[in-house]
Structure 1
């Protein structure tokens, strides 16, 4: 049984790190559950895979990624709020609306992951490892005064726009606002992709890895859409 759990758990990690959507994993190679000695392996059921994934604990890279990406997504929404109703290109306005609509629920999903896996009482969560165990502080999901071993510097996150750039975006008009929005949001998305790639390399928890994989796919698609609009 232990041998099967380890094998299935490793397969879940690989699937979580590479999946583009929940449907992609269903189309990939099957996860095999090793049989008894002398018996051939057979495809594991979804229930078996889910049970194996529940035994996988998160690590510090998972927590750091989720905490930072919440802040990162928050600035993307700030940027879309600054240009709401002001972009010249209608197609670009639709892209901005899509970004805002997508990243709000993603923030909620990441906060839910933290609540379940990080902040919840250890006695109620067998996979709890104590990262930021005191729960969110007034400043956000940072776990209270000095008790969180994940030392974050939001200003150093890749792709983050400076206060000066946000002010420039707020004050821009005409065609300038379209160009500046695409410039800043493209850099912002590229930074998010870089962070997601780091999580894919260093993270451990299947749900965090899946969220990072989704970010890579979705935000690259946004970059491509914005480039197409500006090339028209």
Structure 2
């Protein structure tokens, strides 16, 4: 009887030791197989998914929210450039003879007024200064095709066919400068909406250049 009890105790000890060994092996195996195990032996999926999530977020920011110096230069240059085009277009209703020129001027104003507000809004959101009204230098560098003060005076004093010709000649040069600025933005900018507006400027103003050349008999 004593021998039987002793044997049973020995069997229980061996069984307990075996069970403990199995538990330890299971825990040790988990640690060895997955170095990313977190507290309590559970894997930490957040650590592996976080880089992908951060990458996706950064990618979204790059396409929508991030901007660079080229975007700022584009907006700061295009605001006064557009303002001058609108200023020129405002002269047409009382001076132009051609109905085509009057319509062209109206189309220019209709397209560029909203773009001025959009560009100004971007600059404000980026913490940049919006060029002041009336403070533009007509001969400013990096603003291709800007009309000089003398040319603006000539346009203001013209009427009829003389106005039509001067307006289109100056606006062709003005548009060509805007197209060049827009191409630079598309090449160097990173802000998605600005690159989109640049594409729209290239398309619309290139079409207007072609129209004005035809009206001038250059087509």
What's the TM-score, normalizing by structure 2? Answer: 0.67
Q: Moved runs in structure 1, 4+ residues, more than 4 A?
A: none
Larger Rg belongs to? 2
- Give distance in 1, aligned partners of 2:208 and 2:130: 31
Q: CA-to-partner distance for each residue in 1:97-133, whole Å, 9 max, x for gaps? A: 11011110110111122223x12xxxxxxxxxxxx3x
Aligned counterpart for 1:68 among listed residues 61, 74, 77: 77
Q: Which has the higher contact order (CA 8 A, sep 6+)?
A: 1
Cα–Cα, structure 1 residues 183 and 59, in superposed 2: closer, same or farther, change >3 Å?
Answer: same
Alignment correspondent of 1:53: 63
Comparing both structures, which one devotes a greater share of its residues to helix?
A: 2
- Give distance in 2, aligned partners of 1:108 and 1:200: 20
Alignment correspondent of 2:16: none
Q: CA-to-partner distance for each residue in 1:145-168, whole Å, 9 max, x for gaps? A: xxxxxxx99612210000000001
Matches within 5 A, 1:40-189: 53-54=63-64, 56-116=65-125, 118-119=126-127, 132=128, 135-136=129-130, 139=132, 155-156=140-141, 157-189=143-175
What's the TM-score, normalizing by structure 1? Answer: 0.63
Cα–Cα, structure 1 residues 90 and 113, in superposed 2: closer, same or farther, change >3 Å?
Answer: same
- Give distance in 2, aligned partners of 1:171 and 1:206: 41
State how many pairs are aligned: 164
1:226 positional shift: 1.6
Q: Is the 8 A contact 1:95 1:225 kept in 2?
A: no
Alignment correspondent of 1:32: none
Cα–Cα, structure 1 residues 136 and 66, in superposed 2: closer, same or farther, change >3 Å?
Answer: closer
Q: Is the 8 A contact 2:89 2:105 kept in 1?
A: yes
- Give distance in 2, aligned partners of 1:155 and 1:68: 9
Q: CA-to-partner distance for each residue in 1:173-201, whole Å, 9 max, x for gaps? A: 23111110000000000000001111111
- Give distance in 1, aligned partners of 2:207 and 2:163: 21
Cα–Cα, structure 1 residues 52 and 204, in superposed 2: closer, same or farther, change >3 Å?
Answer: closer
1:209 positional shift: 0.9
